Amino acid sequence: MTDNKWWRGAVIYQIYPRSFLDMNGDGIGDLPGIERRLDYLSSLGVDAIWISPFFKSPMKDFGYDVSDYRAVDPIFGHIDDFDRLLRHAHERNIKIIIDEVWSHTSDQHLWFHESRMNKTNAKADWYVWADAKPDGTPPNNWLSYFGGPAWTWDARREQYYLHHFLSSQPALNLWNPEVQEEIFDIAKFWLDRGVDGFRLDVIHTYQHDPELRDNPIRTADDPVPSDMPLSNPMSYQKRVHSMCTPHVIPFAKKLRAYVDQWPDRCLLGEAGGDDSEAIAASYVQGPDRLHMAYSFGLLGSHMTRQDIISTIKRVEEKLGDGWLCWATSNHDTVRAVTRTAAPEHLQKEIALMIMALGLSLRGSYCMFQGEELGLPQAKLAFEDLRDPYDIALYPEHAGRDGGRTPMPWHPEKPHGGFTFAHEPWIKFWEPHRHLSVWSQEEDPQSVLSHYKNFIAQRKQLPALIQGDLSVLDSAEPFVAWVRELGDQKILCVFNVSPEPHKFALPEGGSYSIMNNISNGVTFDTTTHAEFQAYGYGFFEYTKSK
């Protein structure tokens, strides 16, 4: 064993493979497409890439419904393509994290076909089955993320099975030791191939209350869910029995102990729920739990001053010695540039502020493909939607597909250079053309160039990677904190406003502005700095004696 904590403070780039780059012209991105852009990712300076599921699947939830955990789905390529991608990524010192969906499978998985045959087969207890109530209704009041009951009747077994998402995604029974051992064997398959870690999809749904008790009603005094809109009926409940139970922690410890047999690997857990910061913290406190977790605190927010401050304070109060991986956008949310509701002419400025904010928090940072281009959310018509969640909750929630549209590589090529010979699986959004990679690479003032520069400069600033964080009591409309490690102290200040404002520097210090990573700020006195709309400034400082 070694102690190479490469993941601690890492910059991770999330790839949604079906929308990244299509190399065979079928309109769907693939593993060879990711390999083709490794030099681009290397030039960006990221430490690792997280690849959303590419396993064999009927694609009813676009890969998050796995039918074979050890096989690459043909639309993404072949296992040899993955091995080549992994090898070439490692040659560029880029780690590979793959997305494991171990809370549920597809109903097309052979395990489920066997499990549903009867109540006595070898895999009868591999999924969560329960008898109906005396009146024939589901066992309890648990609801699905996709709307409606979390239970579906199976006539062959004359029982209900649990599903937290689509009815075609039955929940695995992770209370069953045989299922746990199978999960470990799947982990071994990929770890032996050389993957550097796993992103654990919806780990908060892994183990339910074995007594199947009803969820209580959420009251006005309870936290507002950050992982779903209030238009979702699941938000009416406190999910204390269907998911988010403390039972997950012992399993997380077993998984950590198993994965630790391979040097320098990491486990990144996705933690949703009514208080996702507290749940995330519970999975990473102590050296025997997950290496990292991330919550929906900033993913579900409008990035207002109050959102940012309250989320950071909640995390810092609960995290202890644990480690968080921050994210401001991913494949399940509206892109952050659009969530802020910033004026259109200030979208570049808000994109840069989000970048600097995310990369200066205490923790690692995961950026979603296209975030480095400042992409806003694509606006799709109802007929262009593909995601069952967006379709089910339309029009109040239509946020996943708009963030999953094809990556724009070139402004003059069909579909932005994403695919060359076919209509893409989901519509390319034309306004993204002028924000393409090709359009930004040679422009030193582009969002992409700012990302490359900030990530490179950050590598030289230990306080921003490993340092402590102290939130300051700043005036509206600023958020500010200090990152400190040893003798290095950095004051980080952000104007979360579409208007210019003046910031009074804290008394008792001597400040020097770090112009190479600041933007839209003028520092011409020892007491104040002028910030443009969404400007941000980083100041090295020493306290007066």
Catalytic residues: 201, 270
Question: From CA 297, how far away is CA 307, in angstroms rounded?
Answer: 8
Nearest-angstrom CA–CA distance, 479 and 392: 37
Q: How many residues does the chain have?
A: 545
The answer to whether the CB of 527 falls within 8 A of the CB of 504 is yes
Question: Residue 524's closest CA among 542, 507, 511?
Answer: 511
The two counts, helices (H) then strands (E), for the chain are 14, 20
Residue 226 phi, psi (nearest 5): -100, -5
Mind giving me the DSSP string for 13-38? EEE-GGGT--SSSSSS--HHHHHHTH
Instruction: Tell whether the torsion through CA atoms of 303, 309, 314 and 318 is positive or negative.
Output: positive
User: Cβ atoms within 10 A of the Cβ of 146, count?
Assistant: 20
d(CA 31, CA 467): 36
Number of Cβ atoms within 10 Å of the Cβ of 312: 22
Task: Mention every residue, 6+ apart, whose C-beta is less than 8 A from residue 221.
Answer: none
DSSP annotation of 450: H
The DSSP letter of residue 238 is -
Sheet with strand 95-100: strands edge to edge: 292-294, 266-270, 197-200, 95-100, 48-51, 11-15, 364-368, 325-327
Q: Residue with structure tokens 């074995």?
A: 210
